[in-house]
Amino acid sequence: MTLMQNPATVSRVVTLNTAQWGSRDVSWGESWEHGTAAYWLEATRRAARVADPNRHRLTDSLHDEVALCMLGGFGMPYELALAAYTAVHQQVLLGDPTPAESAIEAVLLEPVRVGNATRRYRFPHQRARRLAGALRHLHASPAPTDPLEAREWLTSAPGIGPKTASWIVRNRWPDAPVAILDVHVLRAGARATVFPEDARISTAYRQLEALFVAWAAVEEVRPADLDATIWAEEAARARHPF
């Protein structure tokens, strides 16, 4: 990375370098300026001082982490995904490492308790099919122990794309150079000029992730902690904008 003064704006610019995707100049800002690249790194450092370093790990095994992450993700509230995972884990996964799609689907079709309400899981047919295929993939060959190799191995499983694979790996190996990029992180990164304004997760996930990892490296914070910090604050702002 390179630090230099931009004479036009008298604002510090940091050049983020990535091995595969080239470099990008970022208007860095100050740590007290909300939403700047510097602000998010300082917020992450403050949060990490008092947080459990293993907080990103949600389950006790890679097998279970895959199930939870696949039942969550796009369009799925975390609380509903967790309730569905708990039901599937208790009724199916504990007794069978490669359950049939029909067994998973039967559980997902039943209502689950979320707080004080009863709710139905969304996309039960699609998620049951994908999860059953992914679990067969996990059972067919041992997972690599290197996190980046494991990420590539996971993306070859049915229904696991780059974001889900990075989510699983980030949870199991929180020091790995991967990140969960969702709409909140994407928008915050664009406002901080780390990402291009027209960037799309669906078409440029790996490129954006590389820039994100380079961003975290400037202050030597973990990408997992940075994406969690951004997500927590931005999601809260979305729920309570005023």
pLDDT > 90 in the chain, percent = 75
List the single range of 197-201, 213-217, 223-227 with lowest mean pLDDT: 197-201
Query: Beta strands 11-18 and 112-114: pairing type?
Result: unpaired
Paired tokens of 136: 């067969």
pLDDT band at 141 (very low <50, low <70, confident <90, very high): confident
Higher pLDDT, 234 or 9: 234
Res. 7: pLDDT tops 60: no
- CA-closest candidate to residue 112, choices 124, 102, 121: 121
CB proximity list for 218: less than 8 A, separation 6 or greater: 1, 14, 16, 37, 41
Q: How far apart are CA 208 and CA 233, in angstroms?
A: 20
- Least confident among 95-104, 114-123, 134-143, 231-240: 231-240
User: Is residue 65 very low, low, confident or very high in pLDDT (cuts 50, 70, 90)?
Assistant: very high
Average pLDDT of the chain to the nearest whole number: 90
DSSP 177-204: S-----HHHHHHHHHTTSS-TT--HHHH
Total length of the chain: 242
Give the whole-number percent of the chain exceeding pLDDT 70: 95
Find tokens 């809260």 and name the residue: 236
Tell whether the torsion through CA atoms of 226, 227, 228 and 233 is positive or negative.
Answer: positive
Where residue 4 falls among pLDDT bands split at 50, 70, 90?
very low
- 168-210 residue pLDDT tens: 999 999 999 999 999 999 999 999 999 999 999 989 999 999 9
Give the chain's end-to-end CA distance (angstroms, integer).
37
Sorted by where each starts, the structural domains of the chain and their CATH numbers stand as 2-53+184-239 (no CATH), 62-172 (1.10.340.30)
Cβ within 8 Å of residue 26, ≥6 positions away: 13, 14, 15, 16, 37, 192, 193, 194, 215
Q: What's the rounded Cα separation, in Å, for the pair 166 and 161?
A: 9
pLDDT at 240: 65
pLDDT band at 9 (very low <50, low <70, confident <90, very high): very low
Q: Give residue 8's pLDDT.
A: 40
pTM of the entire predicted model: 0.87
Predicted confidence (pLDDT) per residue in 28-40, tens digit: 999 999 999 999 9
